A and B are shown apart, each in its own frame.
Chain A
Amino acid sequence: MSLKHDIEFKLNGVSRCASVRVDMSALDMLRDVAGLTGTKYGCGEGECGACTILVDGLSLNSCLMFAVDCHGRDVVTIEGLAADAKADALRAAFVEHGAVQCGYCTPGMVMQASHLLATHPDADAEAIKRGIEGNLCRCTGYTKIVEAIASVSRTGKPGARS
């Protein structure tokens, strides 16, 4: 069938290699080859953010990235973030603030939020809303997601309603 390629990269802090089809997306590689199903498929075309991962510290839609382009990179998924102490506070905030309903958008939201707070630790409600603009949620109406992220931002104020 299609051409395969061997890649070597860091996945959630651990070096690993994989043999992937050249037309495979990073999303499919993570889910089907690495078996990490926390990263979700929502649209496959960069419009929903359910597949958000961190690559060399940047948040990306893994559905738009080729698996082969992970070669030599540092890839972090929700599973890797879950083991991170700083991420604990963020995940706890999502739980405590009721930012999770069906939960399908949640891993992508948490990834995007963690990237947002890493780059903009002082983000206020408005900045948070802009920061998660590319992540769709059909259940929550976003308010509680914004409140959750705001509660762990340095401003510390849940300002979604101001």
Chain B
Amino acid sequence: MKVAEKTKFIQPGTLIGKRIPKMDAPEKASGKTRYIHDIDLPGQLYGKILRSERVHARIKHIDTAAAKALPGVHAVITAADIVDQRPIGVAKDHLPLKTDKVRSLRDEVAAVAAESEQIALAALRLIKVEYEDLPILTDPAEAIKPGATLIHPEPRQPGGQDALKPSGPVAFTGKPDNIAMRFDYCHGDVVQAEAESDAVVEDTFKLHYVTHCCMGVSGMIADFDSSGNLLMYSNTQVPFLHKREFAEYLNMDPGRIRIIQPAIGGGFGSKLDIYPFEVICVFLARAAKRPVKLVFTREEEFISSPTRQPVLLTLRSGCKRDGSLTFRTVHTLHDNGAYTSWGATTPFVMMQTFSSLYRVPNCDYHTVAVYTNNPYAGSFRGYGNLQATFAVEAHMDKLAEAIGMDTLEFRLKNAQEQGEVSGQGMEFDSCGFKECLTTAAERSDFRRKFAENVKNRNAPGAIKRGVGIASMLHVGGGAKIYPSDGCGTILKLDDFGQVTLITGASEIGQGSETVLSQLVCEELGLPMSALTVVNNDTAITPWDVGVHASRTTFIAGNSALGAARLAKAKVLAAAARKFECPAEELDLRGGYVIKAASGEALIDLPRLMRNLHFSDKAELVMTTFYYEPPSSYQDKRYKGNVSAAYAWASQVVEVEVDTETGIVKMTKITAAHDVGRVLNRLGIEGQIEGGIVMGQGYALTESLIIENGVMRNPSFRDYKLVTAPEIPEIDISFIETMDGEGPQGAKGVGEAPAICVAAATANAIYNATGVRICGLPFTPERVYRALHGKGEKLYLAPEKAA
């Protein structure tokens, strides 16, 4: 073809690795984004829930007559009004409205739908409940003892889907004890290994309650149409699983349930389970025959949303004089709270860290989750890994010291490498762990500072400097815990060259829609402005298992990429027909079909699309793709390659410890993350910075204080989140290992940055002071007591392996 005068040549360019602003940011920055709180439906009523305010009690009588008589009240419901209630939650041990008993302070006893929130609240005050108090059980070590008061003496209904599946943990239903779940894992022979060890250390760690504190409080709207179809505006992170489960709880056909997700004011794992308030909101809408909106207050959010799993953990570890790890034995006791949510299943993740972060030839891990009258734990960014890493990394320091080896050298000697298969069967196809260690150490001048701080421990002055290192392993290519870990995509190109990406993957603020758009635009040679994302309506979007396990960029990314590749092939085939050349000689770039070799523009995409559409064949370019990662279920012994890729990171934390006040100041964090490949530099930096500061809160300031089942600090005044002046300097390095399965080489990163901050901080405090603190958070009081010989006495794990 002759090159005409007007011929355009399109220069190659890439969106990958660039700083691409979030697509939804302009709306959010101007206050136009609609969250659940901002949506009102015509005829909508306001729902409110009456909670027990008793920790453990029998419900003797509920009188709702006065509430029902209040003008403006449309429905008042208790368990007696809902004859077909079914148990909800991970172990199906939880009725949304409690029948004969309340087992924790948060328990839902009655609910009201009224014309305004004020009326609903006034109605709640008119409901009279008579209780008979029962003995309170809030110490899991007591709760596990034979003869302890039973929290769930009634035989439970069978059917906890994940709890009871063959490869899952064992749920003891109808048993005469308080055990909610038990996990036992082992590889190798720890007894033999201990006998052959040159150094053995043991400690008990106590990890505390913290909670998500999403800035947008929980809420939902339920609306039935005249045919009985249910529409929910919901903040869920797992719309398709919820659709199925709601159908079960409501005895409805799942096909009649539709979920729309408005913008979500933070998730962090808190919106993975179905909670009573959501089912109650639907009950209210059904009873009142009007749409019902139910939104929490902040206090309610603290009291009634899930926590991170509190853990009492005893770890015994050993190594040889040459620095090779020999074994690890772990006993953990989980306070399950009164009901079972995802927190009970955090051992799935915890055991990965014990068994596989470092090469440990022998590992035994035993967990018991015990019912108490405390709040119940859910899933929270990191999912048990913060707790496990806290213990493992303490012992990496301790063992190195015991054999007189450099602590970094010790870690490098035991670090996993590319190509290895861990004792638990995890296959590390890409692994930048050693590079993470050396990068974080070099950039922070770790070795020199570490030695200097030890020397200065006894120097005069109250302020001691410390530096600590910790690393983490987390799933980075999905996690196969459900029959499918996949995600579907529909891609539509229109007559104007605009692309609509319809994905099952939800946006919860993490930036998924931007990164998915980037992948599609890169493939189709389009600017970001050519793309619209639809990702929040189960009636439109294809199936996805949900936003969890740091899986969206990897799984939904591969899905979007698959659909884009199909679309590209279609477009190029059409162009090849038109220009009578092989499709391989063509490419898409800058909104044009170009000659791949020269970059010469042949036709702009909109024109080609119209040619196709308005031709005799009338073809539309619309593709679908479903991506299922090549990972596998764990077997009965929890072995298997559960993720298609794994993320690695090392973080060095620097602190100043005021030995006179116990105040710990975090001055700098140097983080090195194996992310596979950076897709959106702006987005990934934001994820890491945000995760680090969340980890800082876990380490230093945040703690839900629960005394005898009562939450003492359900407000931001008393629950201390990190504020802007307290953030450390943050230095981030990306280790790009180009994962073979990841989209453009990328792996998941969402949870990773929060995981090792507390562990590294503990090591830094030890480096500064020579005192190891095994409980969190490092509040001035705890640190002061530890430094001045008044440390808390930690109890021992209640059960030892036989």
Interface residues of A (CB under 8 A from B): 1-2, 31, 36-45, 47-48, 50, 77-79, 82, 91, 94-98, 100-107, 110, 126, 128-130, 132-146, 161-162
* Residue in B35, B692, B716, B729 whose beta carbon sits within 8 Å of that of A43 in the complex: B716
| Chain B interface mostly | loop
Given A142-B693, A144-B689, A146-B724, residue A100 in contact with residue B298 (CB < 8 A): no
- Min CB distance A80 to B, Å, is 10
Which chain B residues border A1 with CB–CB below 8 Å?
118-119
- Report the bound CA distance from A45 to B212 in whole Å: 19
* Contacting pair B683 A98 (CB below 8 A): yes
B403 on the interface (CB 8 Å rule)?
no
* Residue in A44, A50, A133, A140 whose beta carbon sits within 8 Å of that of B297 in the complex: A44
* Contacting pair B31 A45 (CB below 8 A): no
* Residue in A39, A98, A138 whose beta carbon sits within 8 Å of that of B686 in the complex: A98
Docked complex: B705-743 residues within 8 A CB-CB of A:
715-717, 721-725, 727, 729-731
Question: Could you name 30 residue pairs across A and B whose Cβ atoms are closer than 8 Å?
Answer: A2-B118, A37-B34, A37-B38, A40-B215, A40-B265, A45-B298, A47-B715, A77-B31, A78-B30, A79-B30, A79-B31, A82-B30, A82-B31, A96-B21, A98-B22, A98-B686, A100-B28, A102-B215, A102-B263, A102-B264, A102-B509, A105-B215, A129-B724, A129-B727, A136-B721, A138-B694, A141-B693, A141-B727, A144-B689, A162-B729
B798 on the interface (CB 8 Å rule)?
no
- Report the bound CA distance from A39 to B37 in whole Å: 11
Q: Could you say which interface size class chain B belongs to?
A: 35 or more
* Contacting pair A94 B297 (CB below 8 A): no
* Contacting pair B32 A139 (CB below 8 A): no
- Min CB distance A21 to B, Å, is 8
- Min CB distance B146 to A, Å, is 42
Which chain A residues border B17 with CB–CB below 8 Å?
none
- Report the bound CA distance from A50 to B716 in whole Å: 12
* Contacting pair A104 B266 (CB below 8 A): yes
* Residue in B21, B264, B690, B724 whose beta carbon sits within 8 Å of that of A132 in the complex: B724
- Min CB distance A32 to B, Å, is 9
B573 on the interface (CB 8 Å rule)?
no
* Contacting pair A102 B298 (CB below 8 A): no
B777 on the interface (CB 8 Å rule)?
no
Select from chain A the residue with minimum beta-carbon distance to B266: A102
Docked complex: B4-23 residues within 8 A CB-CB of A:
19, 21-22
* Residue in A45, A101, A106, A145 whose beta carbon sits within 8 Å of that of B715 in the complex: A45
* Contacting pair A140 B215 (CB below 8 A): no
Which chain A residues border B217 with CB–CB below 8 Å?
41-42
Knowing that A45-B716, A146-B724 are A-B contacts, what are 11 other residue pairs whose CB atoms are under 8 Å apart, sorted by A's residue number? A41-B37, A43-B716, A47-B715, A95-B25, A100-B28, A103-B265, A136-B716, A141-B694, A141-B727, A142-B727, A145-B724
* Contacting pair A101 B511 (CB below 8 A): yes
- Report the bound CA distance from A37 to B682 in whole Å: 28
* Residue in A39, A82, A138 whose beta carbon sits within 8 Å of that of B214 in the complex: A138
Which chain A residues border B745 with CB–CB below 8 Å?
none
B476 on the interface (CB 8 Å rule)?
no
B26 on the interface (CB 8 Å rule)?
yes
Which chain A residues border B212 with CB–CB below 8 Å?
138
Which chain A residues border B298 with CB–CB below 8 Å?
42-45, 48
